[in-house]
Amino acid sequence: MILFLRFTLLCVLLIGAVPAAMAQDRSALLPDIPAATGEPHAEGNEYWRRNHMDLMRHDRDLTMREGNRKIDASLKGCFDCHAAKDGEGTIVTYQSEQHFCRACHDYVAVKVDCFMCHRSTPDGVDEGAPHAALVPQIPLKETDIQSVVAYLQQGASKTAEAKQ
């Protein structure tokens, strides 16, 4: 009888320890996300993890396609709280594997191209050569520049007509 009770107690302890061990193993498999420095998002972290790309696309469309530059969120605003630092305390650019965005995006093998044009650090941080390395060196011809200007002017006139 005592042997049976000891065996039962051992089984209960082992069964109770399995979920804790599994949780520790699982967390070791997930990316190490740098902690933010600002106030938490009102919607919660899980909401932003799942929806940040849709929200960024929406704001991009409002800004680039409709000319609305007064939007509630911006990529710049992200880095006010999500600027990752290296071991020496220096804010890192997207070139570094320690960058906030790269923590998850490298993990899921998703290329981030935001920083081809946008900063990857808060204002006041010199991105210099690391940022320049992200931008492809494509020589532009005068006709290319004229084509881009014509395209933008066409979009602006369509937007103005739509508002009338």
Whole-model pTM over 0.85: no
* Distance between CA atoms of residues 98 and 32, nearest Å: 9
- pLDDT band at 163, cuts 50/70/90? low
Q: What is the pLDDT of residues 69-106, one digit of tens each?
A: 777 767 777 888 888 888 898 888 888 888 999 988 99
The predicted structure's pLDDT at residue 144: 77
- Assigned token pair, 149: 């200007």
The identity of residue 57, as a single letter, is: R
Nearest alpha carbon to residue 106 among 1, 30, 40: 30
Nearest 5°: CA angle at 75, between 73 and 80?
90
- Would you kindly state where each structural domain of the chain is located, as residue ranges? 16-137
pLDDT level of residue 3 (50, 70, 90 thresholds): low
For residue 142, how many other CB atoms are within 10 A of its CB?
7
pLDDT digits (tens, 9 = 90+) for 16-45: 655 554 544 557 788 888 888 888 888 988
**Selection from 81, 128, 127 nearest residue 100 by Cα:** 81
Phi, psi of 91 (to 5 degrees): -65, 130
Q: 107-150: per-residue pLDDT in tens? A: 999 988 888 778 888 888 887 776 666 666 667 777 777 888 88
